Amino acid sequence: MKTLTIGDITLGEGKPKICIPLVSSTAEGLLKEAAAAVKKPCDFIEWRADYILNAMGGIVLSEVCRRLKLLLKEIKRITEKPLIFTIRTEMEGGKIGLKNEGYFYINKVIAETELADFIDIEAFDAPGIVPEDEIRDFVEYAHEHNTYVLMSNHDIEETPDQEEMLTRFFVMQGLGADVMKLAVMPNSQEDVLELLATATIMKDYYAEIPFIVISMGELGTNTRVCGGEFGSVMTFAAGKKASAPGQIGAVQLKQLLDKYYGEEESK
C-alpha cells in the first residue's frame, strides 16, 4: 500500500492519524469550533459542511457557494492543519439531501479554491449504483486544482458481507480515489470482526492507496483505536460533539492510541 504525505503528515505510516470534524450549523459557531479543535490533539480537521448547508435552507446555489468559500478560507486560517471538506448526504448519515448536480457543483467550487487538502466524495448513489462518469470527472477536476479525493461509503444500517465490502473498496480504488473510506454499522461483535478481517485482506493483498475503516456505534468503538493494526490510516474523534455514532473525544482517543501503539510512533 502506498503512503500519502500532506505537509509533515504521512498517511499509512505509524499510528492512525486523528481527524476532528467540525459540525456547527452557524458561521459563528463553526469558527469557534475550529479554534477549539486545534487546541485538542489532532492531525486533520474535517469540515462537515452538510450541517451548515442544511441550516441555509432555500438560499440560491451561487450564494451558498460564496458563503462556503468565505468560511473555508477562515477555517483554514484558524486551523492551519490539513483540511477535509465533506458534504455527507442523508443516505449516508448526513444532514442534507442533494441531487448529484448540486453535490458535484459545490464540491467543484471548493476544489477551485485549492484550500481543502481533501474533498470527500461519496462513491455510491445507492447500494450498487455508482455515478461513475460524474465521479471520474470530479477526480480529474480536483487533481487539476491540487486537491486530493477521499472517496467514501457509509452503511448506516448494517455491515455487508466480506465480498460486498471488498467490492466497495475495489470500486473506490478503481474510480481513482487518493484515499478510500468504508464505515459500516455492526449489529453484532461478529460484524466488527468481519470488517477487520476485510481490512486485513485489503492491507495484505489489494490496497494500492491508503484506506480508512470504521465500525460505527458502541459495538465498533474499539476499531477507532485498533484499526491501524489492520491497515486503517485515520480515525475520527469528537471535538464539540460527535459527527458519527461511537466517536471518542479527541483527548481520550489520543491517550488510547498512545497506549495501544506506543508514544514513540507519534513523534
pLDDT digits (tens, 9 = 90+) for 68-87: 999 999 999 999 999 999 99
**Cα–Cα distance list, 91 to 15, 94, 129, 155, 224 (Å):** 30, 7, 13, 9, 22
181 is catalytic: yes
CATH of domain 13-152+217-257: 3.20.20.70
157-186: per-residue pLDDT in tens? 999 999 999 999 999 999 999 999 999 999
At residue 246, the pLDDT reads 77
Task: Locate 73 and state its grid cell.
Answer: 478560507
Nearest to 179, CA basis, from 51, 37, 9, 20: 9
At residue 264, the pLDDT reads 52
Q: Which of the following is catalytic: 181, 203, 259, 267?
A: 181
143 is catalytic: no
Confidence of residue 265 (pLDDT cuts 50, 70, 90): very low
- Of 52-56, 70-74, 259-263, the poorest mean pLDDT is in 259-263
Nearest to 153, CA basis, from 96, 203, 216: 216
* Strand 17-22 with 44-48, pairing: parallel
Q: Which of the following is catalytic: 143, 154, 241, 259?
A: 154
**Cα–Cα distance list, 251 to 4, 212, 256 (Å):** 25, 20, 9
* Strand 83-86 with 44-48, pairing: parallel
At residue 57, the pLDDT reads 82
pLDDT of residue 140 exceeding 70, the answer is yes
Residue 266 or residue 168, greater confidence: 168
